Amino acid sequence: MTGVRVAKPYTGTVVIKRAGASSIDGYFNPYPIQPHYGPQMSIQNPSGWLSMQATGAGVPVTEESALGSTAFFRGVSVIASTIATLPLKSYRTASDGARDQVPSVFDNPGAQFFTPFEWTELIMVHLVMHGNAYLLHLYSPSGTLVGFFPLHPKLVHPEWVCDETGKIVGKRFKTNVDGLDTYYDESQMTQIMGLGCDGLRGLSILTLARNAIGTGLAGDLAAARMFASGMLIGGLVTTDDESLSKEDGQALIADLKARLTGSNNAGDIALVNASLKFSPWTMSAEDAQFLESRQYQVEEISRLLGVPKVLLAEDGASSWGTGIGQLLSYMQKTTLVPWTERFQQRLSRLLAAPRHVEFDYAGLLRGTPMEQTQLLAAQLAAGIIDTDEARASLNLPPKTAAIAVDATGTPTLPATQEN
């Protein structure tokens, strides 16, 4: 990491609140602290990162196998990639409520390791799949905070930190390098936590919904085996001639294929010099029910991730209301905003007040050119914005440019306006 150093491990004296603790700051804790789910992983030996989770369907669920489900991959990708397209901006709020955009470390949070899009997308993948994201602080040689390196959630184990009286005063984060436990405090590592029950860590959808995901994966395997070894034929040809030899039968089938199949034989009349009976091979009720069960798995993934089925490309799903605009607005309010709020509120704590970070949804929610023009016209008529502000929202230069003057004070016109 040339030019960048990682936060030094935490070496302070702490008391760790272990499993079975029953109070937090004098209040009853209904969720006694338990060890982190899964075995301790090592950065130098990451073979256990993709640990298997047993399922009722008999198919192990790992990161790779779960993303092998097309619906799950698409759902995670829609959430992570969409949020990654939103600009992450820093603002300073004045005492009168006005705010100005200001530069901060979040203009390039991945330092030289990640682009802003890659950085946000990776963090969102960690959050959606594991319920946690851990950001290791990066510093310049002079000690300035210059970025954050996302660590895989399997590599980090959060623990409560208590003082000598047993009062919780914060968290620390344990990682493992070369078989040695390394600890970082909250000034050296930041945790963004998803939905959880104990306040220590978020819940992993790969763990909680492994049966639903595993059932879908089992359906994929069953479908693959059906195509590999199933009886997927168009029909059966039978004859009452019991003396027909195997060679004659193969020659008859070859002749039928040559006469009846292919686009060149469409609409033609075939003459077969034999007494044959053709029986179409139709889909059984069990096969039809199997296909319906696979469609149901897409609904399960949609329900788990909060992504509308139409965005998972499910057959039969269609946009509702007045179209995709309302669909994106619905998804923004119920799925994207909760994720970005977790992101914003945690990262804003890393900036000195009254500064904060915020995702800009303007580009995502921008309407059609006609809708945008009508909105700008209404805002102009109401005096909310002026002409130059309206043009700036359309990425156009100001219409009222400053007039230049020469050495004698005489106004000069642009070259396009002279003569």
Using the predicted structure, report yes or no on whether residue 47 has a pLDDT greater than 60: no
Residue 230 has pLDDT above 50, yes or no: yes
Q: Which residue has the higher pLDDT, 281 or 320?
A: 281
For the cut 70, the answer to whether the pLDDT of residue 417 exceeds it is no
Q: How many CA atoms lie within 13 A of 330 on its CB side?
A: 15
Per-residue model confidence (pLDDT) at position 286: 54
* Cβ(301)–Cβ(216) below 8 Å: yes
Lowest-confidence pick of 33-37, 100-104, 314-318, 378-382 = 33-37
> Does position 402 have pLDDT exceeding 70, yes or no?
no
Mean pLDDT of the chain: 77
Exposed, middle or buried: residue 233 (CB in 10 Å: 0-12, 13-18, 19+)? exposed
Helix intervals (H) in 143-284: 205-208, 210-229, 246-260
pTM: 0.71
Q: What would the pLDDT profile of 185-211 be if each residue is shown by its tens digit?
A: 999 999 999 999 999 999 999 888 877
Instruction: Enter the tokens of residue 203.
Output: 């819940």
What value does the mean pLDDT take over residues 113-131?
A: 96
How far is Cα 292 from Cα 65, in angstroms, rounded to an integer? 22
Extents of the domains making up the chain:
5-59+74-208, 234-280, 367-419
What's the pLDDT band for 418 if we cut at 50, 70, 90? very low
Q: So what's the pLDDT on residue 249? A: 76
Q: What is the pLDDT of residue 166?
A: 87
Q: Which of 113, 162, 111, 153 is nearest to 131 (CA)?
A: 153
Beta-ladder partners of 278: 237
pLDDT at 360 exceeding the cut of 50: yes
Cis amide linkage into residue 354, ω under 30° from 0: yes
- The predicted pLDDT at position 13 comes to 44
Distance of CA 11 to the CA centre of its chain: 35
pLDDT at 36: 36
The pLDDT value recorded for residue 299 is: 84
The SS3 of residue 239 is strand
Q: DSSP string of 181-218?
A: EEEEETTTEEEEE-S-SSSSSPPPHHHHTHHHHHHHHH
Among 15-24, 227-236, 269-278, the range scoring the smallest mean pLDDT is 15-24
Per-residue pLDDT reduced to its tens digit, 242-276: 667 778 778 877 877 777 677 776 767 766 666 77
Contact 69, 316 (CB under 8 A): no
Q: How far apart are CA 201 and CA 390, in angstroms?
A: 45
Mean pLDDT of the 132-150 span: 93
